[in-house]
Amino acid sequence: MKVHSAVGEFNFDITGIELKPQGVVLVGTMGVWEARTLMQPSDLRRLTGMLLKQPGLMRYLIRQLFSSNRKGEKR
């Protein structure tokens, strides 16, 4: 996953997921720093709604799931 910001572009490599009372925590590294991202239930509902409204989402997901490309390869 890539994070684009005013201070630069960083890879966010997810190494784990934690389920907390506050929500889902993505654990990983961003650049050389350890990072945690909390997605609260309201964030998950909003993200799910945005994804479901996206035309062609199911086609995209199926294509990605069955793609022969491995992690790190460019398309």
Task: Tell me what pLDDT residue 61 has.
Answer: 85
Domain membership of residue 7 (yes or no) is yes
Domain count, the chain: 1
pLDDT at 69: 64
**pTM of the shown model:** 0.66
Across the chain, mean pLDDT equals 87
Q: Which residues share a beta bridge with 36?
A: 27
**Does 5 map to a domain?**
yes
Structural domain contains residue 58: no
Q: Which of 2, 22, 4, 6 is nearest to 14 (CA)?
A: 2
pLDDT at 4: 86
- Which domain does 2 fall in, by range? 1-41
Nearest CA-CA partner of 29 in 2, 8, 11, 5: 11
pLDDT of residue 1: 86
Query: Residue 57 domain-assigned?
Result: no
1: in domain: yes
**Distance from C-alpha of 12 to C-alpha of 28, rounded to nearest angstrom:** 7
Cα-flanking dihedrals φ and ψ of residue 68, to 5°? -85, -5
Asked, for residue 60, whether it belongs to a domain, the answer is: no
What are the residues whose beta carbons fall under 8 Å from the beta carbon of 52, sequence distance 6 or more?
Answer: none
Residue 8 lies in a domain: yes
More confident position, 21 or 4: 21
